[in-house]
A and B are shown apart, each in its own frame.
Chain A
Amino acid sequence: MMYKILIVDDEPNIVMSLEYAFKKKGFEVFIARDGSEVISIVENTVPDIILLDIMMPNIDGYQTLKLIKSKKSLEATKIAFLTAKNKASDIEKGLKLGADKYLIKPFSVKKIVSEILELLE
């Protein structure tokens, strides 16, 4: 079967690499540049996993996570933060808000993909 992944990040260069890597593994990839774009995407699609940056314009990663959590249709969707914020307090905060994984930038693409697959299976 084909996993659906939603990548939420405002850095196009990073998104491009991730998009390429996940598509290669057979994922259906959706892209949002911030929280507001996430809303319109999840109206029609229920992703299996959402990869979420934190430092974004308008609606940041934390607020986006809250929005996702409030959506009934997204109950089964896994959520992973992917962010440059790597302080212990940041990680704790992210996991407390209900994220399933906390991944840190810069990253190894291969490792990210395998972590996500592991989370999904």
Chain B
Amino acid sequence: MSNYVIIVIILTYLAVLFFIAFLAERKKKSKWVNNPYVYTLSLAVYCSAWTYYGSIGIAANTGIDFLPIYLGPVIAAPLWIIVLRKVIRISNQNKISSIADFISLRYGNNRFLGALVTVVCLFGTIPYISLQLKAVSETFEIMSDNTSYILTNTFHDSTFYVALILAIFATFFGTQNADASEKHTGIIATVAFESVLKLVFFLVIGIYITFYLFDGTTDIYNQIATIDNLKELTTLSGLEDGFNWLFMISLSFMAIFLLPRQFQVSVLENNREKYLKKAIWLFPLYLLVFNIFVIFIAWAGKITFGDDVNAEYYTLYLPLEQGNSFLATLVFLGGFSAVISMVVVSTLALSTMVSNNLIIPYGFLEKFIRSQTERNERYIKNIRRISIFSIIIIAYFFYISFSRELSLYSIGLISFTIIAQLAPSFFIGLFWNRGSSKGAIIGIILGFFITVYTLILPFTLAAYSGTDDFTQYGLYGIAALKPYALFGIDFLSPPAHAFFWSILFNLLAYLFFSLMFKGNYRERNYAEMFVDSRNFSALQDSALVWKGEAYVADIKTMLVRFLGEKKATRALKLFFTKYKLPVDTQLADARLINFSEKLLTGSIGSASAKILIDSVVKEEQISLTEVLRILEESKENIVSNKMLLEKSDELSQLSSKLKDANEELVNKDKQKDEFLDTVAHELKTPITGIRAATELLMDEEDDMPKEIKKQFLTNILQDSDRLGRLINNILDFEKLETGRLSLDMRSLDIQETIKKAVANTQHIAAKKGIKIQIKNVHHFEIKYDEDRILQVFTNLISNAIKFCEPESGNIEIDYKLGNEVLEIAVIDNGKGIPAEDIAYVFDKFYQSQHQNTIKPEGSGLGLAITKQIIEKHKGKIWADKTVKTGAKFVFTLPISYIV
């Protein structure tokens, strides 16, 4: 096929891709470009020319060793739900534009770390892109009938032009928007399309070779079994191979997360988290299907060509051998598809990193601050365009210098090993908040240099010096420093060996320096946000640890420079509305600083955004003690919450007390009603007696006998007395209860008062045949109101008389000096007080609650009045519970009243 025909085919194909990208960009919101299948197919950017051609080479030469590169992603896929979802969430919230941005933000927006990651990614990706160029160039050569197409002059090398075309394509779609965190719908659509093409074409050629050229898989197997050392190719031999496999699987496991192009498609271009659910099984399936025919194509090639041609291109040689140039063209296009999607996405990702994490923060920032919006946007886009071009051109020269000698497979592994250096700071940083920027930086640098020493240096030195002394004898001839057998470990393949040592030192350095040196407040703040991403937005918005001063006007000027007047004003308006702040707010708060940083991050990367914002913010250094103080404050909040809880407990206790009090009041009310009822009843009883007797006496028609008349008159008298007594008691009680009674305190002899009381009650007692004795004969002069104390004695004695049996009843009155009191007792040998009533006897409602014990003489107020009188004298009264028979009432009068 003529070169020109091939060029025309390439251009036509590119035109189709342009058209698809253009269409997708126009219908950004359409379901055709926003679905889990497009997302999953875009992930298949993983399958580059390396997969398309390289796998077959490996399969032909070393058997199933090509598999670990796919097993890693297959193992990783289920973990996406946890890891990738977290990464996507954090990236969306922060407008992350690359993996460099992501890692540098995790470690406190560290500018140097961002640049370092960018450099690592450049070193990791440029050989990878050169691998793609090599594949295009070599397949071009195979397809072309002009075998001497490689000219010494670059400008006559078609590979160079292919590279240029790729660069133009990537530039055109990759730099549509200055905000790199915007989705690249067009590119993703073409990537998905290409993923379908490369898979279909690969399957077509697989089926063609297996079932058309050969008689199925068994036929190939049988044929290869006769000519080759098959066993060696299909089995793992021993522990050493096991280690190789393990390390290769780990390597590809990391690569699926960390390769800039994978980060671009899986994280940055992800529209919805739920797409992951489909991708976790569909993507492994894609890889599986892709690899079905690899081994058979390799064997078929081996059977057909032996070792005459490059095994990597069996898929082209086999149909061409049969004269089927159509099928070969399809295969070529499939490979070209794999190349173009890898190159475009990789350069897009890298150019963003180069501009946002390398060039802008380290050089152009000063210039940006001074210039105008439109120019800034143009500058940013131009930096990216130049980056894309430069990267592809550098990759081209890398290809020219080294790649011709290296296989696709080994170049791919170099890339993987370099990129894997990001693994400790990326993975551990997601789940361990102690991981610090120092640890990350030192780990990455150390790992990178070990990789360079053990993997890159050998072949570059060999390429320049033409000898492999370095590989053979080690640095300065020291055996322990042999690049492929560091410290005597010589059983691993060079990539596995490099991976093992670099990751080991990287990891140890990361852990060691993270534990040794804590990050500053800012770093730890971000670490906390990444590790605890669910609380992320809350933390981000409240921005706990920020202390500084900035004017809204300054921030706005800054935003206008990068986003334009319209966008900046709208963004600020949204911000003020969201947080309900007045539009004329003068001083910016932490939230506005964060918000502005996020806004700018999309355009210029997080590190640059931070530097820019810092330039207008007078941010004070926050010391550790201040952080602790802030934490202390939140602890205080917790404490005050506790206090609130206690307070509410107190309140509920108080309310229950109130409830009790209310119940008591209700109860008292009820008691008062009952008391009034009782009083009314007690008043009505003598009145009823008087009324009835009077009525009978007044009946003139009745001839009433004289004795009965006299009896009725006596009854009337008795009832009148009772009425009078009752009324006096009620009045007394009321006076005592309301405290309106004043005592007439005089110094008197208690003996005399008792004698008077006994004299007053003697006639009632005598009637019942009850004796009253005064046991103590001593005279005590104390101060009291005699009338009231007489009332007390009368009450107690009449009570005793009431409950004593006639004739046998005996009442004793005794007194003695107690502890600063005179203790007086009235003791009887009556029926006593029931145990259940003893608590109530002084209750004014005692009668109403136990009305069955009412005696006609009682008012129900006697003991209640007695108690009031004693208490008024500052004494106490009680019924002695210990007495076995009868009742014993004891009351005290303070001896301070003794004269």
Contact = CB atoms under 8 A, between A and B. Distances in A.
Interface of A: 10-14, 16-18, 20-21, 24, 55-60, 84-85, 105-110
Contacts of B685: 11, 14, 84, 105
B853 interface: yes
Contacts of A21: 692, 696
B684 A10 contact: no
A120 to B, nearest CB: 20
Contact of B719 (A13, A24, A55): A13
Nearest to B677: A85
B700 interface: no
Interface string B22-51: 000000000000000000000000000000
Contact of B852 (A16, A57, A106): A57
A14 B702 contact: no
Given A10-B856, A57-B854, A16 B711 contact: yes
B708 interface: yes
Interface string B703-726: 000001001100100110000000
9 contacts: A12-B856, A13-B686, A13-B689, A17-B696, A17-B712, A17-B715, A84-B684, A105-B684, A109-B695
B718 A13 contact: yes
Interface string B165-198: 0000000000000000000000000000000000
B842 to A, nearest CB: 20
Given A12-B856, A16-B711, A57-B853, A106 B693 contact: no
Nearest to A57: B852
Contacts of B852: 56-60
Given A84-B680, A107-B688, 5 more contacts: A13-B686, A17-B693, A20-B708, A84-B681, A105-B688
B567 interface: no
Contacts of A57: 852-855
Given A13-B719, A24-B702, A106 B854 contact: no
Contacts of B681: 55, 84-85
A12 B702 CA distance: 22
Contacts of B854: 55, 57
> Which label, helix, strand, loop or mixed, suits the secondary structure of the A interface?
loop
Contacts of A11: 685, 688-689, 856
Given A12-B856, A55-B854, A57-B853, A20 B696 contact: yes
A19 to B, nearest CB: 10
Contact of B696 (A12, A85, A105, A109): A109
Interface of B: 677, 680-681, 684-689, 691-693, 695-696, 702, 708, 711-712, 715, 718-719, 851-856
Contacts of B702: 24
B695 A14 contact: no
Contacts of B680: 84
Contacts, number: 70
A72 B684 CA distance: 35
A84 B677 CA distance: 10
A16 B696 CA distance: 11
The CB with the most chain A CB atoms within 10 A, among B677, B689, B711, is that of B689
Contact of B715 (A13, A24, A106, A110): A13
A14 B708 contact: no
A11 B711 CA distance: 15
B220 to A, nearest CB: 109
Contacts of A59: 852
A12 B708 CA distance: 14
Nearest to B685: A11
Contacts of B693: 13, 16-17
Contacts of B684: 84, 105-106
Nearest to A105: B688
A11 B683 CA distance: 13
A24 B258 CA distance: 124
A20 B708 CA distance: 9
A94 to B, nearest CB: 15
A49 to B, nearest CB: 18
Contacts of A24: 702
A56 B854 CA distance: 7
The CB with the most chain A CB atoms within 10 A, among B685, B708, B712, is that of B685
Contacts of A108: 691, 695
Nearest to B719: A13
Nearest to B689: A13
Closest 8 CB pairs of A and B: A17-B692, A13-B689, A84-B684, A106-B688, A105-B688, A13-B715, A106-B691, A84-B681
A10 B688 CA distance: 13
Contacts of B687: 106
A108 B698 CA distance: 12
Contacts of B715: 13, 16-17
Contacts of A110: 695
Nearest to A24: B702
A17 B708 CA distance: 10
Contacts of A17: 689, 692-693, 695-696, 712, 715
A13 B712 CA distance: 8
Nearest to A10: B856
B571 to A, nearest CB: 78
Contacts of B711: 16
Contact of B689 (A14, A55, A85): A14
Nearest to B681: A84
Contacts of B712: 16-17
